Structure 1
Amino acid sequence: MKLTFKYLFFIINTGLLINLSSTVFAQENWPNRPITMVIPFPPGGVADTVGRPVADALSRSLGQPVIVENRAGAGGGIGMAAVAKSKPDGYTILMALSSISIIPEADKILGKQPSYQLNQLKPIARFTADPTVLVVRSDSPWQNYQQFIESMRKSPGKFNFGSSGNYGTMHVPMEMLKANQKFFMVHIPYTGAGPAIVGLLGGQVDALATGPSSIVQYIKAGRVRALAHWGEGRLAS
């Protein structure tokens, strides 16, 4: 199974961005005040790990502070919706994961009114495209991927996995794996990857599927074991 998630950098709003380029930017000499980067997850996750150095680099390049604001909840949906509905003046930007495209569609399937639409956001750049990694604590009984799958099949519902929230980049891969390998695990949604990793380390959950940048320090420290990843070949780290 091959699955790669892309982490995108978004700015509000497709149509208005074009208008701003020809009018407001020329009049205001954009940017002439601080910019807010909304990260729709708590500290410690992939978006936060990637977003903070990007914000620092943008601050130096643009000559204006880029202030990071973590607005977590609903698998990232709260922060994403806040940016989608913010004033389209170029001063509110979003560091998003691929769940940005999943959440509105999932809401429609469940009969809910989506809190935002993708056409409210304009993509600017992609910063990472790392494959999601399946990890367990180093004191777990599973030494490899095959042992993990066999154990899940033998004991349906006995074990659980954490995620950054419903429909997110940590939830969907595990649901795909469960369906593909025909086993059942209980899903424990957190408000972001950071709290989910804390849950794994503390023994509240048995496994995670997360980005390498948010978990590699714990793998190197021997606290977490990587069993597999949704990508091609071996990961250099």
Structure 2
Amino acid sequence: MIARRQLLIGAATLAATRVQAQVAWPAKPLVMIVPFPPGGVADTVARPVAEVLARELKQSVVVENRVGAGGAVGIAAAARAPADGHTLLMSLSSISILPEADVLFGRKPAYTLNQLIPIARFTADPTVLVVRADAPWKTLAEFVADAKRRPGAYNYGSSGNYGTMHVPMEMLKAGAGFRMTHIPYTGAGPAVLALLSGQVDAVASGPATVVQHIKSGKLRPLAHWGERPLQSLPDVPSLKQAGYDASFAQWCALFVPAGTPDDIVQKLRAVAKKAAADPAVVATIGRAGSPIDYQDAPEFQAYWDADAKQMVDAVRRIGKVE
């Protein structure tokens, strides 16, 4: 009888501890990993969203730029983090591409998609092809024609091999039949800086990274990879309008490690929804050229599954790129 009573007391204590642990979350500051340098799309979205999360959860949210390997270093760190709700990941659509690239080269993937749970998507922007304002090309047709006349003479920058700035350019190169040299950087911000300084001739970037430079007259947009006109650049034609069957969306979404308790996931979904509707978040991201395109976890999971398949197919078509 005494043993049974002790067993019941122990079970009750364990249950009470679990309840207290649930109520206590978040028990310490949260870390939101951004696997790219400051200045890129993921960073632009992460910072205002983190402010809303901190306010709603009454706990600080530290944005940590953990860069390397086109985003794989930061994504893998988030995937391996304790699933206690204190580590978040704000990533781009390259999250779906990088494991397949590892497989292509016979490497063990740094992470797998099932190691992460989606919380919400905040933006989904087509990439935009931009050149410097003093470049000789005024249109996409002029750009392609010149690249064909001088194979390999021009180069383009990206956020890393098989990232969201690399894959769309490879799609365009394959569809239009020209060659350019690929120069990978550690993120979108450094790649755009390389374009502005004349180190590269073009980049394919999300609008948030380049729209201010376009408006200031430093960069010229030639085309975008979208299905409909861009809100921030309504006069820029799409590749499909130019006759190329290429589309690519650079989306930005929030994730947590797989195994994170469901009650925490639900709270994060609710707070993420508030963040997507917060006027300051909408204004900040909108000024950067990325309108909010919110999807809650179930809808985003379906979108992510379909998009990941498309991206994997694209990587396989591109093949090995050193």
Tell me the TM-score normalised to structure 1 length. 0.88
Q: Is 1:228 the counterpart of 2:252 in the alignment?
A: no
Q: What residue is the counterpart of 2:79 in the other structure?
A: 84
Matches of 1:173 and 1:183, distance apart in 2: 14
Go from structure 1 to structure 2 and tell me whether the alpha carbon gap of 1:27 and 1:57 turns closer, same or farther (over 3 Å shift): closer
Q: What residue is the counterpart of 1:49 in the other structure?
A: 44
The 5 Å alignment of 1:13-92 reads 23=18, 27-92=22-87
User: Unaligned regions of 5+ residues in structure 1, if any?
Assistant: 1-22
Deviation at 1:32, TM superposition (A): 2.3
Q: Is 1:197 the counterpart of 2:196 in the alignment?
A: no
SS at match of 2:89: strand
Matches of 1:25 and 1:165, distance apart in 2: 44
Q: What residue is the counterpart of 1:3 in the other structure?
A: none
The 5 Å alignment of 1:177-192 reads 177-192=172-187
Q: What residue is the counterpart of 2:129 in the other structure?
A: 134
Deviation at 1:234, TM superposition (A): 2.4
Go from structure 1 to structure 2 and tell me whether the alpha carbon gap of 1:155 and 1:25 turns closer, same or farther (over 3 Å shift): farther
Q: Which runs of 4+ in 1 moved over 3 A?
A: 23-28
Go from structure 1 to structure 2 and tell me whether the alpha carbon gap of 1:77 and 1:217 turns closer, same or farther (over 3 Å shift): same
Q: What residue is the counterpart of 1:160 in the other structure?
A: 155
Q: Is 1:206 the counterpart of 2:234 in the alignment?
A: no
Go from structure 1 to structure 2 and tell me whether the alpha carbon gap of 1:25 and 1:123 turns closer, same or farther (over 3 Å shift): farther
Larger Rg: 2
Letter of the 1:136 counterpart: V
Q: Is 1:119 the counterpart of 2:114 in the alignment?
A: yes
Q: What residue is the counterpart of 1:5 in the other structure?
A: none
User: Unaligned regions of 5+ residues in structure 2, if any?
Assistant: 1-17, 233-322
SS at match of 2:85: coil
Tell me the TM-score normalised to structure 2 length. 0.65
Letter of the 1:96 counterpart: S
Matches of 2:207 and 2:122, distance apart in 1: 14
Higher helix proportion: 2
Go from structure 1 to structure 2 and tell me whether the alpha carbon gap of 1:212 and 1:25 turns closer, same or farther (over 3 Å shift): farther
Letter of the 2:147 counterpart: M
SS at match of 2:125: coil
Q: Which deviations, in whole Å up to 9, do the C-alpha atoms of 1:139-173 show, x marking residues without a partner?
A: 00000111111111111100000000011000000
Deviation at 1:222, TM superposition (A): 0.2
* Range that drifts further, 91-100 or 25-34: 25-34
